[in-house]
């Protein structure tokens, strides 16, 4: 019998973790509710030094306003660095609530102001709804930097899973539209390539837990409005499909060694580096998808968190 590849500190949680494996149009509503319920069952730290407000910003032309959750340090100072954050959920589920604990910790420890985007979900709103919502928020934050008391030269974008993939797409869009300078892109186990699990098959050990090949296929199909893996998918939909990665902001990519996205994430990191983009990579051994969200106090989860916190701190620190 082969040894269990899951790190010992992550094994006990496998019995209670949510799974997206059976997701379909028929089960989508139940899956969305189960995801939020699982997040609410995680014990997290309280951060009394962080304030949270909700609001809306103008959406893309012809689209609704975009809900945004704003996190600020209680003792905030003018000219703080900002992070436009994009939540997880496969682009078919989730809200800013799923990354609430992560956002609060970043604000508490790094003093950033975070604008967490409640973008429209597929299949109700397929591509390009989500990425255009995210761009609308990024542009609004940059345009209102003075009244938001943030430094418009220190705007970072970031997200995890689907949010990490949207972050990579947002970096491409911001580069091409040349309206908002992005300082840094934080890609936490990002969902980058629609072909994974459809025309590109990772080793069987990857993607066994939480986010599987079947879930990935469903989500990409819902977002793209077509069978994933085909020709003509734009880089603004799936960042891995972009032909030109030059001129992008420095990047951090972190992922677990058992994550379905491991290969695409490492390949994207190599392509970024080949394009001259400063890129840091962190791989956590024996970790499956979103391991740090559901087992945040495990030593490997803490090491992972400190890894990307350090990358963020370097990015926003003035010389």
DSSP letters spanning 124-143: TS-TTHHHHHHHHHHHHHHH
Mean pLDDT score of the chain: 97
Give the Cα separation of 17 and 78 in Å (integer). 41
**Residues of the chain above pLDDT 70, percent:** 99
Q: Let me know if residue 3 belongs to a domain.
A: no
Give the Cα separation of 161 and 166 in Å (integer). 9
Give the Cα separation of 224 and 54 in Å (integer). 29
Mean pLDDT score, 95-120: 98
190 phi and psi angles, rounded to 5 deg: -75, 150
Q: Let me know if residue 2 belongs to a domain.
A: no
Q: Let me know if residue 50 belongs to a domain.
A: yes
pLDDT at 262 over 80: yes
Selection from 123, 103, 261, 251 nearest residue 190 by Cα? 261
Selection from 169, 175, 173, 260 nearest residue 212 by Cα? 260
Selection from 315, 251, 255, 312 nearest residue 285 by Cα? 255
Q: Let me know if residue 25 belongs to a domain.
A: yes
Residue 58 burial by CB count (10 A; 0-12/13-18/19+): exposed, middle or buried? Answer: middle
* Confidence bin at 2 (pLDDT 50/70/90): low
CATH number of the domain enclosing 234: 3.40.50.1820
Mean pLDDT score, 115-126: 99
Mean pLDDT score, 96-123: 99
Give the Cα separation of 201 and 204 in Å (integer). 8
- Structural domain span for residue 176: 8-316
Contact 77, 110 (CB under 8 A): no
Residue 290 has what pLDDT?
98
Lowest mean pLDDT among 32-46, 165-179, 269-283: 32-46
CB atoms under 10 Å from CB of 296, counted, come to: 18
Whole-model pTM? 0.97
Q: Let me know if residue 254 belongs to a domain.
A: yes
**Tens digit of each residue's pLDDT (9 = 90 or more) over 198-252:** 999 999 999 999 999 999 999 999 999 999 999 999 999 999 999 999 999 999 9
Give the Cα separation of 222 and 117 in Å (integer). 20
The catalytic site residues sit at 161, 259, 289
Residue 96 has what pLDDT?
99
Residue 256 has what pLDDT?
99
Tally of domains within the chain: 1
Residue 318 has what pLDDT?
82
Give the Cα separation of 268 and 306 in Å (integer). 22
Mean pLDDT score, 35-47: 94
pLDDT at 84 over 90: yes
Q: Let me know if residue 1 belongs to a domain.
A: no
Helix H or strand E encompassing 153: strand 150-160
**Tens digit of each residue's pLDDT (9 = 90 or more) over 288-310:** 999 999 999 999 999 999 999 99
pLDDT at 1 over 50: no
Give the Cα separation of 57 and 256 in Å (integer). 34
* Confidence bin at 3 (pLDDT 50/70/90): confident
Q: Let me know if residue 221 belongs to a domain.
A: yes
Give the Cα separation of 102 and 84 in Å (integer). 13
Residue 306 has what pLDDT?
99
3-state class of 82 per DSSP?
Answer: strand
> Crossing angle, helix 100-110 and helix 299-316, to 10 degrees?
50
Token pair belonging to 91 = 């682009």
* Confidence bin at 77 (pLDDT 50/70/90): confident
Residue 242 has what pLDDT?
99
């Amino acid at each position: 019998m082969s040894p269990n590849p899951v790190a010992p500190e992550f094994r006990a949680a496998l019995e209670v973790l949510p799974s997206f494996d059976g997701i379909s149009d028929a089960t989508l509503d139940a899956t969305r509710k189960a995801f939020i319920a699982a997040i609410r069952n995680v014990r997290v730290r309280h951060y009394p030094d962080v304030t949270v407000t909700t609001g809306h910003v103008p959406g893309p032309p012809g689209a609704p306003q975009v809900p945004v959750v704003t996190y600020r340090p209680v003792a905030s100072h003018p000219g703080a660095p900002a992070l436009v954050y994009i939540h997880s959920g496969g682009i078919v589920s989730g809200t800013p609530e799923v990354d609430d604990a992560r956002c609060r910790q970043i604000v508490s420890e790094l003093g950033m102001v975070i604008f967490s985007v409640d973008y429209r979900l597929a299949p109700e709103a397929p591509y390009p709804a989500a990425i255009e919502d995210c761009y609308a928020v990024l542009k609004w934050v940059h345009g209102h930097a003075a009244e938001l008391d943030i430094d418009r030269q220190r705007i970072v974008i970031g997200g995890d899973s689907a949010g990490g993939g949207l972050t990579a797409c947002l970096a491409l869009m911001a580069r091409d539209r040349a309206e908002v300078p992005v300082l840094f892109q934080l890609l936490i186990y990002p969902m980058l390539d629609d072909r994974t699990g459809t025309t590109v098959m990772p080793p069987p050990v990857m993607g066994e837990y939480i986010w599987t090949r079947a879930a990935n296929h469903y989500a990409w199909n819902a977002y793209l409005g077509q069978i994933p893996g085909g020709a003509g998918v734009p880089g603004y939909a799936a960042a891995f499909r972009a032909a030109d990665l030059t001129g992008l902001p420095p990047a951090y990519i972190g992922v677990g060694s058992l994550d379905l996205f491991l290969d695409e994430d490492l390949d994207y990191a190599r392509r970024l580096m080949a394009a001259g983009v400063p890129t840091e990579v962190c791989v956590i051994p024996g970790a499956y998808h979103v391991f740090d969200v559901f087992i945040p106090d495990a030593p490997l989860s803490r090491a992972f968190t400190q890894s990307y916190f350090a990358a963020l701190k370097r990015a926003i620190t003035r010389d």
